[in-house]
Structure 1
């Protein structure tokens, strides 16, 4: 297995649906919206095993100071192969001159993000308005 990392905003709805549902994220039920949404992100890095999309990270930013990682997901069949870490490192490198990179982590992923250099912000709590269930 040789993973190829790409900088692209173009994905088929089918490959996004497969990847997002592999991690049981409800947004995978809206593949056409996901494909359109990818075009709106400032930074998107993806991981492919051949033609198979196996991971991605998507970020948005203000152009100078603040960046926000919205999606980071890796197909569970590829967990433990450092794909997520590589995607985070690519993003951190891209935003190395920014003053803040934020992520809202699910509780089960906090340890992973801490190992990647993120810290829980004291006095701050993530808040959402959403119709998604995961």
Structure 2
């Protein structure tokens, strides 16, 4: 799987252990997808990673992982996802919507 955090495997291992919720998809012993969520325990849940191996994309795995998260957090006030512009349509297909009066802001410096 190719994503920027993968360049920092030691940090990534710690991060994965600290997520509140992780669901995975397997083909035998091969990890083919995962979704990781952080939450505040009652109101807000944040999808941080949704990863599906390229050979397994467009087979419903990502949508099923998102559904497991939305089912699990159904009583929360909101589930938030920040994604690349190219992935917006996928999340809209899963029920997420853009809000005109809100924007995501970032400080991105994985070196520190």
Under a length normalisation based on structure 2, what TM-score does the superposition of the two structures give?
A: 0.93
Per-residue deviation at 1:73?
1.1
Unaligned segments of structure 2, at least 5 residues: none
Unaligned segments of structure 1, at least 5 residues: 1-18
SS in structure 2 opposite 1:56?
A: strand
Equivalent residue number for residue 110 of structure 1: 88
* CA deviation vs aligned residue, 1:52-87 (integer Å, no higher than 9, x gap): 111110001111111110111111110111000000
Under a length normalisation based on structure 1, what TM-score does the superposition of the two structures give?
A: 0.79
Runs of 4+ aligned structure 1 residues displaced above 4 Å come to: none
Does residue 36 (structure 1) correspond to residue 18 (structure 2)? The answer is: no
Aligned-partner Cα distance in 2 for 1:46–1:106: 21
2:57 aligns with one of 60, 73, 79: 79
The higher relative CO (CA closer than 8 Å, separation ≥ 6) is in: 1
